[in-house]
Structure 1
Amino acid sequence: MSVTDAHPSRFEQGMATRREVLGAEHVERSMARVSDFSRPVQELVTEYCWGAVWTRDGLDRRTRSLINLGTLTALGRDHELAIHVRAAVTNGCTVEEIREALLQTAVYCGVPAAMQSFRIAEGVLDELGAGEQRDAEGRQGDE
């Protein structure tokens, strides 16, 4: 499948949504690194994940972001988690909501997975300046 084979409006919707959620700079950087080998999976993700699912009316983007944080924690997908912590902030999630979503994962995914996600999220939030919103308890320690 190539861009010309993909459902054009869904692909374009997907690119627009992807840029809005992840940031145009991130998406352009990712797309610039696409090889002939990986192009089909990038097009699939853009068309179906971003164009067919993220654009649906059933959930708002904040909710989709919080679901992603839990899912990526469960799967141990640290790189994607960092990207989606940024997206969660872009989509209006508060630091408290992100923390609570990750705390929920400690019960259902395990403490080690949640601890790793907390570390990643805290680093991203600090980079974004959103970490300043954290409460007076300060930095989360290691177990």
Structure 2
Amino acid sequence: MFGPEGAEGQVEHTTDLNDKLQDFVTRYCFGDIWQRDGLSYAERSRITFAMLIAQGKSHELRVHARGALANGVSPVELREVVVHSILYCGIPAAVEGLRALEEILEERGIALDLDGEAERP
């Protein structure tokens, strides 16, 4: 999801405590599943972001918001995933998704005025 640099960063933080989990995530999640044909990285990122909203996984939402931006998903597209999640996941889940997205956009220095919709009557 973050390319070779991201994988190297994870390997650098591997300990005897987390090495089995890290190996599984690296090999199967990002090695096998994310490398399959049929969906682009951007599509996988949108889908993953939506599923994490549905599950209320706030830490992973932040990780995958960063990954989605790195994979070419626009801030507007991520916002629209959050808006769409209101219907299927509920308001509290969407609010958590929006909090995570806002935090990552601010961290990246991306303006929260994405498309001027807030100014429209």
Give the TM interval when normalised to the shorter protein: 0.7 to 0.9
Aligned with 2:84: secondary structure? Answer: helix
Partner Cα distance (1:80, 1:53) in 2: 17
| Count of residues paired in the alignment | 118
2:26 counterpart (36, 43, 46): 46
Partner Cα distance (1:83, 1:27) in 2: 13
Who is 2:53 aligned against?
Answer: 73
Unaligned runs of 5+ in 2: none
Aligned with 1:35: secondary structure? Answer: coil
1:37 Cα deviation after fit: 2.5
Relative distance call for 1:90 and 1:75 in structure 2 (3 A) is same
**1:118 aligned onto 2:88:** no
Length-normalised TM-score, structure 1: 0.74
Aligned with 2:77: secondary structure? Answer: helix
**1:135 aligned onto 2:115:** yes
1:104 counterpart (72, 84, 91): 84
Letter in 2 for 1:38: N
Partner Cα distance (1:60, 1:90) in 2: 13
Length-normalised TM-score, structure 2: 0.86
Partner Cα distance (2:93, 2:111) in 1: 21
**1:35 aligned onto 2:15:** yes
Contact 1:73 1:81 in 2 (8 A): yes
1:92 Cα deviation after fit: 0.7
Aligned with 1:58: secondary structure? Answer: coil
Letter in 2 for 1:62: A
Larger radius of gyration: 1
Letter in 2 for 1:40: K
Computed over aligned residues only, the root mean square deviation of the Cα atoms, in angstroms, reads: 1.9
Structure 1 runs of 4+ off > 6 angstroms?
A: none
Unaligned runs of 5+ in 1: 1-17, 139-143
Letter in 2 for 1:102: V
Letter in 2 for 1:66: R
Contact 2:62 2:104 in 1 (8 A): yes
